[in-house]
Structure 1
Amino acid sequence: MASSSRIDYEINSDPFDPECVIASFNALLGELTEKEKLLLERIRGKEDNTSPKYTDQEERNLINKQIRKSQGFDVDFSKFRCLFDFYPSFLDECHSTLITETDRQFFGRLTKESIADYNVREGTSFKFVEVEKANLYRNRGYTYFITFVAKDSCDQTRVFQAKVCNVFCREIEHSFCRLKPGQQGECDEDSKRVVKKPRYNTRSNKRLGVTTNVS
């Protein structure tokens, strides 16, 4: 896919940027609860003698390093034995009790909006296919780091990344949408596309049929 010569994806002005993440864990003063232990086991699997062994500080440093490197999209949660405010989505479940659909459905609707904005900006015609994975950062609302697949007019699939913020518990803000770095391949439409004026921080005041505030 031919890339734009502009550098307009690296948006660092909003308070939810991954570089501002301060990882915190739920076991500062004692043992994890049984519910927390089950959640941690689901995220990283059962701990055994081959599991990585890091101090709490080493884990905080490691997760922040991975967040900064990938801008929040690619984090290996299997390395951590602490629970953080940055964690993976279980796509066939729901991350909030106030949402009536699964994360796969919810993030699918958000990424359809994101890819529509991308098409307007880049003059392309990608169509959403499926959500691949998503990470969540919870702090005065949610920030979603969604990896998804879309198909171009040549019927070739590409992997995209979209960052979407649930700002102040009400408004949905599309921070950016981009092709995942490092992909190869090109469609004929790339050489013909007309790049339109970019739109930044696209905001949708629609409730999307649900209220997605912090539960």
Structure 2
Amino acid sequence: MTVTRFLPNNGDNGQPSNTTTDCKPLTANGFSQECTTPCVTRVIIPNHQAARLATKMESGQSSSNNIEVVVVVVVVAVVVVVVVVVVELVVVVVVVVVVVVVVVVVVVVVVVVVVVVIVVAVAVVIVVIVAVVVVDLVVVVEVVEEVVAVVVVVVVVVVVVVVVVVVVVVVVVVVVVVVVVIVVVVVVIVAGVVFSWQGR
């Protein structure tokens, strides 16, 4: 097998050139040359030189392919690392938000329970004091006055209890609304972060 190449002749050294010079006869290394106008050298390369040339070309192409594969592998590795880091950050944010929400709910429940206990204790003390006063009034005043006093005391106690219950209900409602608002805001923030990362 021979490889035929057509090159412009540059005088004695046989290198490519834009100039046209006279061709030389058969050279010492076995190359045969023919001239046309402009002067062109047809070089017939022996089989072993053609094989070496083909090997060099294949090795160069193989090196280029290896570089492309390395670049693709590096890019894929960087993308995978970025995705893993982003997922870990999202998971950490979600866990932190859930923990904060749970802590807030527990604190709110404890506060509500303490407030209810205090209100009930105050109501019991008020009822005891009113009962003592009623007993004293019953002993001191006449029957009619005692009845009126009892009715007044009962009305006062009822009003006090109603006010306490209303206050407790209002406090509980306010606490529940605050907790719901906090949970909704946290869920919206987490959802926004997750959707934004998915969009990217």
The interval holding the TM-score normalised by the smaller chain is under 0.3
Bigger helix fraction? 2
When the two structures are superposed, what TM-score results if normalisation uses the length of structure 1?
A: 0.18
- Work out which of the two has the higher radius of gyration on C-alpha atoms and give 1 or 2: 2
The structure showing larger relative contact order (alpha-carbon pairs under 8 Å, at least 6 residues apart) is 1
When the two structures are superposed, what TM-score results if normalisation uses the length of structure 2?
A: 0.19
